[in-house]
Chains A and B, each alone.
Chain A
Amino acid sequence: MAEKTSLSLLAERLRNFPARPRTKIMEVCGTHTVAIRRAGIQHLLPAGAKLVSGPGCPVCVTPDHFIDEAVALARLGVIVTSFGDMLRVPGSRSSLEQERAAGSDIRAVYSPLDALQIAAATGRETVFLAVGFETTAPAIAAAGMMALEKKIANFSLLTALRLVPPALKALITPPQGDAAAEPTAVPQGDAADTEISGFLLPGHVSAVIGKQAYGFLEKHRLPGVISGFTAEDIITSLLHLLEMHNKGIYKIMNNYPRVVRDHGNERSRTVLAEAFAPVDAEWRGLGSIPASGLQLRPAFAVLDARRRFAIEVEAAPPRAGCRCGDVLRGRIDPPACPMFNKACRPDRPLGPCMVSSEGSCCAWVTYG
């Protein structure tokens, strides 16, 4: 293909950009992880610059305990509905896929509305695994409201929703003396030696929370660019980040104006806030982060599967040898984990970073 497309011109600009040495850009959206690796954009970075993946995959940051709860529910005989991403994630003893093979009624759905429809159609207790960030939380809130409005009493939510800005804050200012954070050995490799120079910010989360939500990054002198998901979007966003880092400019830029309004989507935020309140939450690899999760407000407590069903789940034993936590912090690249692509592979995953198609480890194996 001799002709120069606008994309190939952008790629060339990126390849030739005079980046400062030890520039480390972190992306915090699983969809970005996949988009980057599918297009091979990590190979287009100029010398001196490196891309790392952060805790941007809601499946990966969900602790084992959640899967164990979902498995317990499935064994009770309720219909468990979930986004496809969760089905193969190993909990401490089993996965939903394995439970389905053993006879539990577990169904992958595209939308919580589909789960609601299953509840309405079957009349059986139906639980939806409510996992996701701010992009998805309003949709789940809306589905919950519809359940109440339509008096579909046999529908409930098992929640593990997380918020992005608190996680970003935790990455740049690690909490002191946090016993819950997984102990890490001396960080290895380039990723750990270099501090983060800037963030590629999640385009669709930002469509909900807006540019304003990232104001704290400026205080830490860190640039951030809200980016879309095409190769063109990502490359232009990276160029902006590299330029800002070079010039010592610490701004938040909206490079996805066709979808993201600077003020975000207020209606979505209102719906979210009506059904959910912030709560401290556990993140794999980051430990407990204050006000980083969402729980159902009292008016919606009737939708809470944890209240409706008595599910007793033992605390999950720590996962021996798994370094998902360090991968999620951007401390190591997946190949630095001793189990990467050996004991832990996409068809035989041990940790969530490998099982989720947006997990860094899976993306590395799948796309190179």
Chain B
Amino acid sequence: MDKVLLAHGGGGSKSAELTRKVFQRFLRDPLLMEMDDAARLPGQVFTTDSFVVKPLFFPGGDIGRLAVCGTVNDLAVMGAEPLYLSIAFIIEEGFPVAALEKILASISKACRQSGARIVCADTKVVERGKADGLFINTAGIGRPVFSKAVHPSRIRPGDAIMVNGPLGLHGISVLTARGEFGLRASVRSDVAPLWGLISKCRALDVPFMRDPTRGGLAQTLNELTHGKEFGARIREHDLPIPKKVAAVCDLLGFDPLHVANEGKVVMVVARSDAARALKALRRHPLGKAACLIGEITKENQGRVVMATRAGSERIVMPPVGEILPRIC
């Protein structure tokens, strides 16, 4: 490959390819190679993420809220309480201050909701045309507090797979907010800080958590099983896909399992704690619709399969590149 493609940023197998073939030839620290949502350091967890979403404002949120929640959630899914954030802005010349203020207010509110404190920051301004409005990077530090280690090595066949609510909202929200493909719809992004929800399970046996962002549920479950000695089996009937998401996906030919979420966590919970976990999640506003979607299996090692409504089975692959509207 001699040029970076848009598809390399899609979060699916093309992104993984860029990471493997280019980045990992140079950045090979063992802690980095674990490829988790955050790095496990002694007594703390450390992560970073950049935000380039367009449009900057969408129903349910904006780039500022996303920048806080994205990083805070990457810490939360490691079983760590988010403590401190850094934030860096790259602003395009000409960007309206009023918009910047709205975004900063949003950042402030998201921090309050998440409990994390922004303790260092930076700002750069680039020439008109060089930053598409605004880019934000955040990095975060958290403190692991789950009583049992949240580590994929502890996943066992029989463990339950659950999700805290409806899938596909953020990706569809942003797509329709862009007015792309002539679609008019008001779909609220689910962007939200998840530590309050996730911490409800801190005393339970939760070997794995991840927020299914770019690439959707399909990407996350495939990352979970790839190269492992277990598989994952989910049930089509149990997947919570809201009508509006389904309508857009049907029209454009998207798979809802490939669509990004920003207020969702996929959890693998030890079978003995599954019922308790569901109850705990459902007690929290962000987990009212928490549901069981499948389990870890001995069979289908390294893969993700889905029991279809027709009573058959099919495999669930990660998305390949950008998600594009189809005619077929």
Contacts and interface: CB of A to CB of B under 8 A. Distances in A.
A38 B326 contact: no
A1 B292 CA distance: 13
Contacts, number: 114
Contact of B310 (A39, A101, A368): A39
Contacts of B182: 110-111, 113-114
B308 interface: yes
A97 interface: yes
B314 A98 contact: no
A366 B314 CA distance: 8
Interface in A334-368: 346-347, 356-358, 365-368
A41 interface: yes
Given A85-B328, A110-B252, A231 B308 contact: yes
A235 B311 CA distance: 12
A102 interface: yes
A30 interface: yes
A243 to B, nearest CB: 19
Contact of A357 (B7, B309, B326): B326
A265 interface: no
Interface in A75-131: 83-85, 87-88, 97-98, 100-102, 108-111, 113-114, 131
Nearest to B323: A84
Nearest to A349: B320
A368 B311 contact: no
Q: Which of B13, B317, B324 has the most CB of A within 10 A?
A: B324
B313 A365 contact: no
B327 A39 contact: no
Contacts of B237: 1
B325 interface: yes
B325 A40 contact: no
Given A101-B3, A366-B317, A7 B325 contact: no
Contacts of A113: 182
A102 B5 CA distance: 9
Contacts of B315: 366-368
Nearest to B306: A40
B324 A87 contact: yes
Q: Which of A40, A102, A131, A356 has the most CB of B within 10 A?
A: A40
Contacts of B7: 88, 97
Contact of B181 (A5, A44, A109): A109
B320 A347 contact: yes
Q: Which of B13, B308, B325, B328 has the most CB of A within 10 A?
A: B328
Contacts of B309: 5, 7, 39, 231
B119 interface: no
A324 B40 CA distance: 47
Contacts of B181: 109-111, 114
By Cβ-Cβ distance, the 10 closest A-B pairs, closest first, are: A84-B324, A40-B312, A110-B181, A83-B327, A368-B315, A358-B328, A367-B314, A30-B328, A231-B310, A11-B311
Given A40-B312, A113-B182, A114-B182, 8 more contacts: A44-B311, A85-B328, A88-B321, A101-B5, A108-B325, A235-B310, A347-B14, A356-B328
13 contacts: A12-B311, A38-B308, A39-B314, A40-B313, A83-B327, A83-B328, A101-B5, A108-B324, A110-B182, A110-B252, A136-B327, A347-B320, A368-B315
